[in-house]
Amino acid sequence: MKTKNDILFIYNEYKERNVGRIIAFDIGDKRVGVAISDPFNEMALPLETYWRKGFERDIDYLIHLAKDKYAETIVCGLPVNFDGTESEQTQKTREFIARLSEKTDIKVVSADERFTTMQARRVLLEADMRREKRKDVIDKIAASYILEDYLRKIKLQGENK
């Protein structure tokens, strides 16, 4: 059981590290999967699946969510083909990312999202989740894989300095 001193220690450790959280978006035509880092940017946690309502409304909602979660970085999954070439979906996502960047002062970066949806689908199938339920969670699970990859990369970059 956590005591008051444990909680104060964790809070002080967090303040000393002075890191903002990182939020990730898996942007699709119908839904956006959202994942958030823990306060120490060690783990990626699935947060929600947002059902899209219109380009500008989507942008505004996601910026509000990022600010509400004290995110200092937004990572957007960039869908590229298996061979690395770009598709129509890549261009749509680039437009979304550009508009997101224009409307916020939060740092926005893109990250290769190849295989993340496939990974999420495989995990959910192995968990024997029903198809209707999978649709509600697959995007936020994919977003957590995007964020996990990003966290791993920034950790490696920090270790190589």
Strand order across the 44-51 sheet: 44-51, 31-37, 21-27, 71-78, 107-112
| Nearest Cα to Cα of residue 79 among 103, 53, 55, 112 | 112
Predicted TM-score (pTM) of this structure: 0.80
pLDDT by residue (tens digit) across 85-118? Answer: 888 999 999 999 999 999 999 999 999 877 666 6
Query: From 3.30.830.10, 3.40.50.980, 3.30.70.3460, 3.30.420.140, which CATH number describes the 19-159 domain?
Result: 3.30.420.140
Classify residue 82 by its DSSP letter.
T
Distance CA 84, CA 139 (A): 21
Largest CA distance in the chain: 53
pLDDT by residue (tens digit) across 36-73? Answer: 999 999 999 999 999 999 999 999 999 999 999 999 99
